[in-house]
Structure 1
């Protein structure tokens, strides 16, 4: 009984936290609209987020989990909106369009495959595995800017709000996955904690203080 209560509590809090995490993309897009440019920021985290939430939405219907279905319905809609914003304000529209088209084709092929799997159990397991791999990729996509970050010793190209919220949310879903006994929810969220934790450490390593700046020099 205690475990069920904890599971329900985590289902609600993790859902709210995840939706708030998805909404941090609004801050990124607001800055883009104000500057009328995407700057150094990559659309790949939002494109992979759109793919990830779409896959988990289908997985949520397999396991009949209301929290998973609700969160990923909202997430897929928001990420699609963010991708459209990048398409409008980016000078590299062709690159973003190719990335998005590739993800859309992958999603379509995956859904067709699980729909025609031999049994629902096999379909669930294969979709869970695919969703796990894509989610780990989603957590790791900000790392595409890693070489640039080390080169300029600045984390300006990394979306701090998204990385921080991803760390907190992945921790909640990791515990929720343990309570459900679902390894496909445990594995990506544990790795998500590790990857986003590493990215957060870069903000400390390349903070103004770490560069030797001092308020006395301003």
Structure 2
């Protein structure tokens, strides 16, 4: 494959990854429609969305030219993800308690301070793309793995209740595809070990969730009809991946 063909393939895979990552970012929308209609956050928590904000912020920073050139698609999808997460948090803040609003404001402020510190360290302590990409990329991988691993708490509930009602199939499939697509993207044109690591692990976690779903579905486990997964956070994280986040 020529350099031009690799660049074209990378762009195509990246666009596909953006589409899948967008599906992951938009997946909590029904939850917030419910919150808006009921005017109550019920048993939902803001923490997955706060974590996703941090994840998107770092991948956006990772993708800027002074850190890691030629990463436009990484910036675009995480910018969309960041906007959606802030919208979700705004809706959440309107209908939640005063205490939770304080927590949201405090965490967002802490994230802004932490990002500022990392930006200063990156730009003033590292003087080439390789070192900057490594420093920021490692942080992105850590947040990406946390995001991808967050649904494992739901898997634990599936084993406990023997019901796949608590494990949304399409969300699991999207998480697996998101990891697989961005993992492939990392090997095209110029190898990116940070996108590959975060999304490779994310893809494996998504595959594990699909296997759990298939096992209990084929086993004919009873549905927990009287127990609605209201506390399940329909947020796989990542985006991007990337999403990450796509964890791109």
TM-score by length of 2: 0.72
Q: Unpaired runs of 5+ in structure 2?
A: 224-248
Distance 1:22 1:202, change over 3 A: same
Q: Matches of residues 162-181 of structure 1 in structure 2 within 5 Å?
A: 162-179=171-188, 180-181=190-191
Q: Which residue of 1 aligns with 2:210?
A: 200
Q: Which residue of 2 aligns with 1:87?
A: 93
Q: Report the Cα distance in structure 1 between the residues aligned to 2:202 and 2:119, rounded to whole angstroms.
A: 24
Q: Which residue of 2 aligns with 1:134?
A: 143
Q: CA deviation at 1:18?
A: 1.8
1:185 equivalent to 2:195? Answer: yes
Distance 1:143 1:100, change over 3 A: farther
Distance 1:29 1:151, change over 3 A: same
Q: Which residue of 2 aligns with 1:106?
A: 114
Distance 1:20 1:4, change over 3 A: same
Q: CA deviation at 1:161?
A: 5.1
Q: Is the 8 A contact 2:25 2:81 kept in 1?
A: yes
The more displaced of 149-158 and 3-12 is 149-158
Q: Report the Cα distance in structure 2 between the residues aligned to 1:95 and 1:152, rounded to whole angstroms.
A: 31
Q: Secondary structure at the match of 2:86?
A: helix
CA RMSD of aligned residues (A): 2.8
Q: CA deviation at 1:156?
A: 5.4
1:150-189 deviation per Cα after TM superposition (whole angstroms, max 9, x unaligned): 4444455656554432222121111000113000110000
Q: Which has the higher helix share?
A: 1
Q: Is the 8 A contact 2:183 2:200 kept in 1?
A: yes
Number of matched pairs: 213
Structure number with greater CO (CA < 8 Å, separation at least 6) is: 2
Q: Secondary structure at the match of 1:81?
A: helix
Distance 1:135 1:204, change over 3 A: same
Q: Report the Cα distance in structure 2 between the residues aligned to 1:74 and 1:192, rounded to whole angstroms.
A: 20
After TM superposition, what 4+ stretches of structure 1 lie above 6 angstroms from structure 2? none
2:52 pairs, out of 49, 53, 62, with 49
Distance 1:100 1:38, change over 3 A: same
The more displaced of 159-168 and 44-53 is 159-168
